[in-house]
Amino acid sequence: MFGTIKDRKIKIAVVGCGRISKNHFASIQQYADDMELVAVCDTDKVVLEQHKKEYGVNGYSHLELMLQKESLDVVALCSPSGIHPEQAIMIAKAGVNVITEKPMATRWQDGLNMVKACDDARVRLFVVKQNRRNTTLQLLKRAVTEKRFGKIYMVNINVFWTRPQEYYDHAKWRGTWELDGGAFMNQASHYVDLLEWLIGPVQSVQAMIGTLARDIQVEDTGVLNLRWRSGALGSMSVTMLTYPKNLEGSITILGEKGTVKVGGVAVNDIQIWDFAEPMDYDHQIKDANYQTTSVYGLGHPLYYKNVVDVLRGDAEPETDGREGLKTLELLIGAYISARDGKTVNFPLEY
């Protein structure tokens, strides 16, 4: 059995105090009755000192030392994607639960190794998929689960965002194959997740990617064609070159008995909601829409609520390591397709 923490606060540390970490710190503060931030870890000494002072906690430049010195229940990884596997395995071997930002890894075998290490150590591996908790997508998930679309024919996802060269230049690891991955692996990872989470298992993918404008190793633009096992067809278009700012993060589903488009800058605005059979919750659409200038959405606190409930023994993980592997498998399949100029079928051999 996994251990549960009932009679005290859950002790958490955050590794990597960069761009996404503020969402984690804010979520931890929101659940201050259940969670206690006890340490931070970062290789940048200036950033580390800032966060030590701001949160009044111990700071470490080495994860291994933090694990030796601190009594921890869970560690959140906000570090470069390519080092998540090594860090997650180290944390698991210390008997500590792991929360990892997306993508969980940049290589397929690394993702498998992370899941095995956490299984062997009997600790939890949580993979952050906060967009699933957005109110708009919760309504869409309900409609799909209740089969309101009938047979789904076509699905289209667009991620038309912008990342200037300065974004990639801000940190050496950004835009590298080893530590980051490209527009699909990093920026659009949560949208790749929707392909499986909402529509079901993907049968095959064809991909084309390009580095059209940014001085980086990886793609800044790409397209996917998809076939689901259900027979549905779909496509996904992603670019980080939209002028002059983030334009759209959307999903459109066309089915036998329904059509839905959720758009906005980050799937935050239900623009079309049209079904043959009305339901009592259809009036909630306007309430579900929300304003955001952030492509991260508002899901991190809701994600942390599930983490707390799981560690308290009151729930099962909404997105564990195996759920994270579904997205990683699709991503790796897409990159293989783009590299080799062929259709890739799932599951990948392993």
The predicted-structure confidence for 50-90, as pLDDT tens digits, reads as follows: 999 999 999 999 999 999 999 999 999 999 999 999 999 99
Summarize pLDDT for 276-285 with one digit per residue, the tens. Answer: 999 999 999 9
DSSP 341: T
* pLDDT score of 231 more than 60: yes
pLDDT confidence band for 222 (50 / 70 / 90): very high
Summarize pLDDT for 81-121 with one digit per residue, the tens. Answer: 999 999 999 999 999 999 999 999 999 999 999 999 999 99
pTM (2 d.p.): 0.94
First to last CA, the chain: 27
The confidence score (pLDDT) of residue 299 equals 82
φ, ψ dihedrals at 317, nearest 5°: -65, 135
Instruction: Scan for tokens 């075998």, then name that residue.
Output: 109
Element holding 44 (H helix, E strand): none
* pLDDT score of 297 more than 80: no
Average pLDDT, the chain: 95
The confidence score (pLDDT) of residue 290 equals 81
Calpha distance 99→13 (Å, rounded) = 10
Lowest mean pLDDT among 64-73, 212-221, 280-289, 295-304: 295-304
> Is omega for the bond preceding 103 within 30 degrees of 0, making it cis?
yes
Summarize pLDDT for 184-214 with one digit per residue, the tens. Answer: 999 999 999 999 999 999 999 999 999 999 9
Question: Which amino acid, residue 311?
Answer: L
